[in-house]
Copies of this chain bind each other. A is one copy, B any other.
């Protein structure tokens, strides 16, 4: 029996939000360019509006981005407190321990 039982599901759910190319694109874009509206994001990445909205909702639900009204549009900004250190750790990891991930399409198992 484990000494302390941590609730695992929230962690998996959190990472699931990041385990998707579209959502990673969104985070990278917003961390570079700051707050953007949905339509700006769409034209910048060449993606459909509904596609972007769905994925922004997922990121919002996980507290990774936050929307704010501005006229008719909504400006989405990243949670810098989390996203910046997170990407920094992962950058470092990919470079040092997982360079193979750059040349594969699927995870081995």
Contact = CB atoms under 8 A, between A and B. Distances in A.
Contacts of A10: 94, 98, 101-102
A28 B16 contact: no
A89 B92 contact: no
Interface of A: 2-3, 6-21, 23-25, 28-29, 32, 44, 54-55, 57-58, 61-64, 79, 81-82, 85-87, 89-90, 92-94, 96-98, 100-102, 104-109
Contact of A19 (B3, B18, B102): B18
A24 B12 CA distance: 7
A92 to B, nearest CB: 7
Nearest to A66: B97
